[in-house]
A and B are shown apart, each in its own frame.
Chain A
């Protein structure tokens, strides 16, 4: 029996505290050479795709820019398109918001990326409704929270209609008769709803894979509905084996209702890794990396975002603050919420810290710097393989902790072991699209009109 094949994505280390900029080998997070190096490493490791997050505004902490962690990154679409020129096989997937873009424009940008990369584009469709990010956009933070996924869903449907509005053979370019396009080459796309009023004629030809791969990353019920209706990949956070298996069963079980089979949606949770020649060495490295990821001030800053007050007087190595969170005003940054939610969150953290006797810093390490796979390359490879063979995931979205060399070790030491197990590709097929790499069903060409 053939083994289930592992799918891997490589997440470029982004702007957060998991990227250890203090490491002496850490390079630039903005120079193109970093992205090129990372993409080539991912291609050397036969990854399915490179994954890039999006920035819509610099992170703030209590009204000031975050200054402890890596800040500043490129525009997602522009850097992915530049990478299309220097890579051959790897998929190029970016997070792009459905709230602060318009379908016609984003569809043409993603169509452009798909064409220029010969069918390697992907779109992690995320939603937003907050005023903090909205303040940088024409739209503003106008969208009701409840409408986020309504807009996302209509946005995806409209984008798909635009991507399939050109026939594959639309361009005839008959110099003799002077016909460039077929008469029925392009279908008009109308979409009228409460949120959109579009009457469009798309101007980008159909791309090599029909449309970009669509990735989804939210875990709410609305997010799962969106994923089962529209997505090809879910970027989940479920990495504990039993939990991952349960999530996997839940999501895959919902597909039939949409007329889809299990292989049409891949689940690739985020995973970090730390390797060592021995298990002890790996554990030790993991510990060192976690301490570098969560420096004392980082730990306090993290709690300040939840407590929404100055906690600088507390010892990061000591117990959790005994003061109550300030729920008077909402901070703008996603940590905000209803008063009760904040109190509940603080209650949870206190319980967890008490149960395990954790200091502030240790707690934050548990929350933000707990490494998914720690051990020898053999151990990590066998764990990854186990998750896939036992249907807890279809693979992982791997992120290292150093820019841009953080993937090297994985490509050099783990990938060959996955190949030996017969669970991972040994080469790319020429001309494979990202749909092909992921083993997704092809996107059907629009029927002749």
Chain B
């Protein structure tokens, strides 16, 4: 009996392949319409996936590594704000965790925190976020506030070789810290509505965060009362040492990109070592492996589609790619599950086609193979991925006092 895991999906435009929008199954003129996203979210929700991430960036070219990303006209372009898109999807989904991407360099941490808490209220406990450190030169020009920042990944490929990137990760850490502090600032029972004393609020149960960091400061409590999860789920994508340390210190769940099942052990060890050093959260760090998939009825068909896509625009990716049948994908999932991950985040090469394949073929087969954790009905995303609801740090202080 293999270890049982969760399945998640990563949603982005017409899919993860840059030529996906040219496929006949694509809906390229609808990528920023409500109907398109409603359909995608309902499919993921109906399939029983534990969460969907939604990509975002603060510039036209996004996080593409293509040098002419901002100017080229042959890629799908145009985006919606992911936190708001997730908010829109909250009332039209029932069980799906909603995990928008947010960059940490530009947005106001206070707005981001209250936006995510509101997403948690509107979704009744299904909110998360994927934090992305740093900014691109075009993002900085769009905002016009900062002139300095990272210019890309350094030649060595290592974050620690670029002081600007290192600073970006420190800033991302501050944002993560403040998201949790603001989420904690109202204790669960702060609203008392006491007719006797005439008090709506017990002001002793609402706490100013008084955070002062290297990059910004926040003084007051959140404007949003504590949400169903207590703290929305914080996630990150990590490929190497500094991001691993960031995830180990600040995240509830990390997406990793093992080259194959054999690579999982090494990544888990590195994360565990980092956690030993820097993690202060009581809960374990959940680890999901990313898998980019293209599914057809036969391997031959899948490979034909893949070749057509690659001829049009070669994909360069950080994640392992599986091109084949649903059974091929399930085999990969099984291998990763046995190697010790808690979940798999599937990146559909094409949307909606490969998401539909996930719902119609991959999930049922993985379930039949006994690889999937069944939905145990846990009400919140946090509990669904096996993490406890965190008590407010202030409530804990009182207990300990």
Report the bound CA distance from A68 to B200 in whole Å. 5
Contact B111 A203 (CB under 8 A): no
Given A58-B220, A116-B85, A180-B77, check contact A201 B34 (CB 8 Å). no
Chain A residues with Cβ below 8 Å from B78 are 166, 170-171, 203-205
Q: Are A180 and B217 in contact (CB under 8 A)?
A: no
- Cα distance, A75 to B59, chains bound together (Å): 23
**Is the beta-carbon distance between B84 and A118 smaller than 8 angstroms?**
no
Contact call B195/A22, Cβ cutoff below 8 A? yes
Determine whether A183 belongs to the interface, using a CB cutoff of 8 Å to chain B.
yes
**Cβ contact within 8 Å between A198 and B144:** yes
B70 touches A201 (CB 8 A): yes
**In the bound complex, what is the Cα–Cα distance between A66 and B124 (angstroms)?**
27
**Which A residues are in CB contact (< 8 Å) with B247?**
none
For the complex, is B392 an interface residue (Cβ under 8 Å from A)?
Answer: no
Chain B residues within an 8 Å CB radius of A191: 144
B64 at the interface (CB under 8 A from A): no
Residues of A54-99 whose CB lies within 8 A of B: 55-58, 64-75, 77-79, 81-82, 84-86
B76 interface residue per 8 A CB criterion: yes
Which residues of A sit under 8 angstroms from B91, Cβ to Cβ? 32, 36, 82, 85-86
Q: How many residues of B contact A (CB 8 A)?
A: 79
Are A55 and B143 in touch, CB under 8 angstroms? Answer: no
Residues of B within 8 A of A205 (CB): 32, 78
A209 interface residue, CB < 8 Å from B?
no
Q: Does A113 contact B (CB under 8 A)?
A: yes
Q: Which B residues from 260 to 285 make CB contacts under 8 A with A?
A: none
Inter-subunit contact B111/A67 (CB<8 Å)? no
CB contacts (< 8 Å) of A199 on chain B: these are 141-142, 144
- Check if B124 sits within 8 Å of A32, measured CB to CB: yes
Q: Interface size for chain A: under 10, 10 to 19, 20 to 34, or 35 or more residues? A: 35 or more
- Choose among B57, B92, B109, B223 the residue that contacts A85 (Cβ–Cβ < 8 A): B92
Partner of B198, one of A118, A183, A295: A295
| Residue interface mask A256-291, B partner, CB < 8 A = 1 | 000000000000000000000000000000000000
Shortest CB–CB separation between residue B28 and chain A, in angstroms?
4
A390 in the interface (beta carbon within 8 A): no
- The answer to whether the Cβ of B395 comes within 8 Å of any Cβ in the partner chain is no
**A443 contacts partner chain B, Cβ-Cβ < 8 Å:** no
8 Å CB interface, B14-64 against A: 21-24, 26, 28-29, 32-34, 37-38, 57-60, 62
Which residue of chain B has the shortest Cβ distance to A191 in the bound complex?
Answer: B144
A78 with B83: CB separation less than 8 A:
yes
User: Which residues in B have their C-beta under 8 angstroms from that of A67?
Assistant: 199-203
In the complex, chain B residues whose CB is within 8 Å of the CB of A102: 106, 143-145
**A200 contacts the other chain (CB 8 A):** yes
A109 adjacent to chain B (CB < 8 Å): yes
Which residues of A are found within 8 Å of B221, using beta-carbon distances? 58, 65
Is B107 in the interface zone, CB < 8 Å from A?
yes
Name the contact of A179 in the complex, choosing from B60, B70, B74 (C-beta under 8 A). B74
CB within 8 Å for A105 and B143 given contacts A68-B200, A85-B88, A178-B22: yes
Q: A185-B73, A198-B143, A199-B141 are in contact. Are A75 and B34 (CB under 8 A)?
A: no
B158 on the A face (CB < 8 A)? no
Shortest distance between the CB of B186 and any CB in chain A (Å): 7
Give the chain B neighbours of A200 by CB distance below 8 A.
141-142, 144
Nearest chain A CB to B172 CB, angstrom units? 14
B206 within 8 A of A: yes
A175 part of interface (Cβ distance < 8 Å)? yes
Q: Is there a chain B Cβ closer than 8 Å to A186's Cβ? A: yes
Q: Which residue of A lies closest to B117 (CB)?
A: A75
A residues 203-219 in Cβ contact with B at 8 Å: 203-205
B198 close to A82 (CB less than 8 A): no
B80 touches A116 (CB 8 A): yes
Query: In the complex, A239 Cα to B32 Cα: how many Å?
Result: 41
User: Across the interface, do A74 and B81 meet the contact criterion of CB distance under 8 Å?
Assistant: no
Say yes or no: A64 contacts B220, CB within 8 Å: no
**Structural contact, B115 and A75, CB atoms closer than 8 A:** yes
Question: Are B84 and A116 in touch, CB under 8 angstroms?
Answer: yes
B4 at the A interface (CB under 8 A): no
Complex interface: chain B residues within 8 A of A204 (CB) = 32, 78-81
Query: Can you list 15 A-B pairs with a CB-CB distance of less than 8 A?
Result: A31-B121, A72-B224, A74-B114, A79-B118, A81-B84, A81-B85, A85-B34, A85-B91, A116-B85, A135-B218, A198-B141, A200-B142, A201-B60, A203-B58, A204-B81
Known: A104-B142, A203-B60. 6 other contacts (CB 8 A): A22-B198, A69-B200, A72-B224, A82-B87, A82-B91, A85-B91
Interface of A with B (CB < 8 Å)? 21-22, 30-32, 36, 55-58, 64-75, 77-79, 81-82, 84-86, 100-102, 104-105, 108-109, 111-113, 115-118, 135-138, 166, 170-171, 173, 175, 178-183, 185-186, 191, 196-205, 295, 297
